[in-house]
Chains A and B, each alone.
Chain A
């Protein structure tokens, strides 16, 4: 990163860190939403942006994490934040299971299959699969998260939990990007045949991208469950997967700063124009069309790093 970029990132982080002191509860809650979407979009960015695998069923992995946390917490009284690694593991394992037979599919074919996976998970939740998901009503009475004996209740408190996790995610994913693993994902995106022909186990890295991205989405699901205390299948609809897909493409697939910026635009702008709620879809559609024509590489396209 250049010095100017570093200064800008520092300034943005500092502004965000003090924002809850000046904003009301509703505005902070919007920022919390943006934070969750940013987290999810960063996790999808690993799969879609870095590895170039078209996944339009990301909400399924999000749901797996949220439901794992909710079930463990409401049935077995396990503190919600303790379920974080387990929700991640369950979502990741589920992704490996469903991706294994389809990961060799290309582009649009993989897209269709992942849409199917997303819908299957949502409908299974509605139908109260195994009798543990609460059907269409979902699960309620999820406990408040506790951190070092402090119970998190207020939006301002959730703000620091969520954005703290976003910061940690950015830190870890930036390191990942500049590693052998991160490069391998990029080779997949650029040319799978050439990657395999350079000695890279492309099947392994495709699955690893899916597993890691899904695990992270699962952990975001835990935070979501903790924040809402009620979860239901409608929170994990196809539309959520589409929005996440859009954030990654709009921001510039493979660029962390771009994905964050797009999360602010896609989640934040509709909140600013609440009165126009009916025209929201229209605007989204238009923005996507204009972007694809004018700037197909995204707001902040990914660049080579050496």
Chain B
């Protein structure tokens, strides 16, 4: 079953075409990698999916629902969660509060119920804290719950962002360079984490430069260059594709 489908997606910034007529599909339950050299338009594709940018042309559909024109929080509520290339945590807030942000839209209660502290609100609050703690535990940050996000080491910040995304209870998780800045050990742990997220039935679409991670974690790769798709298929096939090799290493006659 196709969970996410992109059709003829195009995005221009002034004279620059960042994404050019890109189409691909993500099957439910799979781990798909989006790779390509720097500036190939990978993050732009992510921003188009989550509604941070509006496409100039083309369609995006999530389990049959068109996403075009929806605001980001509506898209998140449909079941897509994401992390950011340059970690975007709520720096001054604790790890727990960061994850509670992900629980937010499934909770009820506004100004009045907060001021009156209704029993229903208290119960919802306790349930949310419990769920947030479970997600922290899942990524291995339970002990760090009361620590301010800015005081966490880099690798922990990346995992905290994943916990916050998971707290929205997504069907599709989009990871933008999850291993960026991680050492070998942390990357190894991340591959394990990706496997466990997948075991929960969550589909994953990720951007990554670490080829070892990509080759091991993904069952399908999509390769972008200059905003256009140049290859698609299983990792073993893509790594032998002459166009991909050329994109990464340059054409032979240029060497």
Interface residues of A (CB under 8 A from B): 172, 175-176, 178-184, 186-187, 190-191, 193-203, 208, 212, 302, 304-306
Q: How far is the CB of B122 from chain A (nearest CB, A)?
A: 10
- Which residue of A175, A193, A194, A202 is within 8 Å of B114 (Cβ)? A175
A181-B109, A181-B110 given; name 7 further pairs at CB < 8 Å.
A175-B115, A181-B111, A183-B100, A184-B104, A194-B89, A199-B104, A304-B146
Cβ of B7 within 8 Å of any chain A Cβ, yes or no, is no
Given contacts A194-B90, A197-B50, A198-B164, contact A180 B104 (CB under 8 A): yes
Q: Taking the complex as formed, is B248 at the interface, i.e. its CB lies under 8 A from any CB of chain A?
A: no
Task: Bits for B93-106, please: 1 = Cβ < 8 Å to A, else 0.
Answer: 11011001110110
CB-defined contacts of B93 to chain A, threshold 8 Å: 186-187, 190, 304
Residues of chain A within 8 A (CB-CB) of B72 are 196-197
Q: How far is the CB of A45 from chain B (nearest CB, A)?
A: 15
What are some 24 contacts across the A-B interface (CB < 8 A)? A172-B115, A179-B125, A180-B107, A181-B114, A184-B104, A187-B93, A191-B91, A193-B84, A195-B90, A195-B101, A196-B73, A197-B50, A197-B76, A197-B82, A198-B101, A198-B102, A198-B165, A199-B104, A200-B73, A201-B73, A202-B73, A208-B111, A304-B93, A306-B145
**How many B residues have CB within 8 A of the partner chain?**
43
8 Å CB contact of B76 from A176, A181, A198: A198
A249: min CB distance to chain B, Å = 15
1/0 contact trace for B220-244 toward A, CB 8 Å? Answer: 0000000000000000000000000
Residues of B within 8 A of A (CB): 50, 52, 71-73, 76-77, 81-82, 84, 88-94, 96-97, 100-102, 104-105, 107, 109-111, 113-115, 117, 121, 124-125, 128-129, 145-146, 148, 164-165, 168
Given contacts A181-B109, A197-B76, A199-B102, contact A306 B97 (CB under 8 A): yes
Tell whether, in the assembled complex, residue B101 and residue A187 are in contact, meaning their CB atoms are under 8 Å apart: yes
Asked if A305 and B97 make an inter-chain contact with CB atoms under 8 angstroms apart, the answer reads: yes
In the complex, chain B residues whose CB is within 8 Å of the CB of A172: 115
Measured CB to CB, the nearest residue on chain A to B161 is A194
Complex CA–CA separation, A179 to B129 (angstroms): 11
